[in-house]
């Protein structure tokens, strides 16, 4: 007997019927004889399919931008972004979350990644962990705080663990985003209640049902855009340069000096001195150099500019 989705959003369908309707589960006619090809021909076919991904994502940019507005507003209010996924989708959320502190100097709590099956699922598949809506809801009940935004990630748009987490967040009044790689009409059957639905319909995978491929690539692109654009919107860059990076290794310490040098037209030695006085805070060092001011004055300029370097410099010279 085929399983049915727990509490589907619209008319119930068997799991077999749900999967059969998904483009990511379809057989790709362009790669149906991939097992007859040479290694060079195989990778050329995969590459041809991968080139379709960016175009599929481009069709969803309005929705990605809407997600950015929700997330950046949450950050300004002291909330967090919480990714929820299973399998490849869950791992991508965890990876994106883990890259925020070293890249943008964020608190590790600011962007969180939840994967069905917990920490062990990052390193070894826990396939059955995704099958219960209630499991996802339980995680949300334990971790949600005021102003948090929850972003579900599921290629199919139907993963019970993810849908359960999203439904719980929605019920509790939190803003919600859902990232899928199937057609909107199919995803809306399960997640039609979310605030922002991003459906980059990438079509059949090169290997049938292997959503670690085109679907994973599309999801990675979208998550990159959501977090990066949100960080830009809250002042984590000056121009297109990261100015809140953490100086946790030699490479980053040298990068910080180069950033201060380029932004303020100072020497290597002066950049090193300014960073030392600013306790390694690149933004502050830039403002100190550009406005020829003290640490205290630079900090005040940045606070009045809500952390935006460009605004701090404009106001400091006006």
Strands 149-153 and 81-85, bridge-based pairing? parallel
Strand ranges (DSSP E) for 211-312? 237-238, 241-242
- What are the phi and psi torsion angles at 127 (to 5°)? -60, -40
Q: Which of 265, 306, 266, 258 is nearest to 282 (CA)?
A: 258
Q: Which of 218, 220, 219, 248 is nearest to 103 (CA)?
A: 248
130 is catalytic: yes
Catalytic residue among 99, 138, 277, 297: 99
Catalytic residue among 49, 60, 130, 205: 130
Q: 202, 20 in Cβ contact below 8 A?
A: no
Residue 76 CB neighbour total at 10 angstroms: 15
Residue 41 CB neighbour total at 10 angstroms: 12
Q: 180, 197 in Cβ contact below 8 A?
A: yes
Place of tokens 């300029």: 301
138 is catalytic: no
Residues annotated as catalytic are 99, 130
């Amino acid at each position: 007997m085929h399983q049915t989705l727990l509490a589907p959003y619209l008319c119930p369908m068997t799991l077999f019927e749900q999967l059969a309707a998904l483009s990511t589960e379809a057989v790709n006619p362009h790669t149906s004889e991939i097992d007859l090809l040479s290694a060079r021909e195989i990778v050329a076919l995969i590459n041809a399919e991968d080139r379709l991904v960016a175009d599929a994502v481009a069709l969803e940019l309005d929705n990605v931008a809407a997600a950015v507005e929700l997330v950046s507003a949450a950050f300004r209010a002291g909330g967090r972004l919480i990714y929820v996924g299973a399998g490849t989708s869950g791992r991508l959320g965890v990876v994106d979350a883990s890259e925020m502190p070293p890249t943008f100097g964020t608190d590790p709590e600011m962007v969180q990644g939840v994967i069905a099956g917990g920490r062990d699922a990052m390193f070894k598949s826990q396939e059955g962990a995704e099958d219960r809506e209630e499991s996802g809801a339980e995680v949300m009940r334990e971790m949600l705080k005021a102003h948090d935004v929850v972003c579900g990630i599921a290629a199919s748009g139907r993963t019970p663990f993810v849908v359960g987490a999203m439904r719980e967040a929605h019920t509790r009044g939190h803003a919600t985003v859902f990232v899928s790689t199937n057609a909107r009409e199919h995803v809306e059957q399960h997640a039609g209640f979310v605030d922002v639905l991003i459906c980059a319909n990438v079509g059949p995978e090169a290997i049938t049902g292997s959503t670690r491929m085109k679907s994973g690539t599309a999801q990675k692109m979208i998550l990159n855009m959501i977090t990066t654009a949100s960080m830009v919107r809250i002042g984590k860059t000056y121009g297109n340069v990261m100015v809140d990076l953490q100086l946790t290794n030699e490479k980053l310490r040298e990068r910080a000096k180069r950033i201060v040098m380029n932004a303020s037209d100072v020497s290597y030695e002066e950049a090193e001195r300014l960073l030392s006085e600013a306790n390694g805070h690149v933004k502050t060092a830039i403002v100190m150099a550009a406005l020829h001011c003290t640490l205290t004055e630079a900090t005040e300029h940045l606070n009045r500019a809500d952390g935006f370097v460009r605004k701090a410099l404009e106001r400091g010279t006006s």
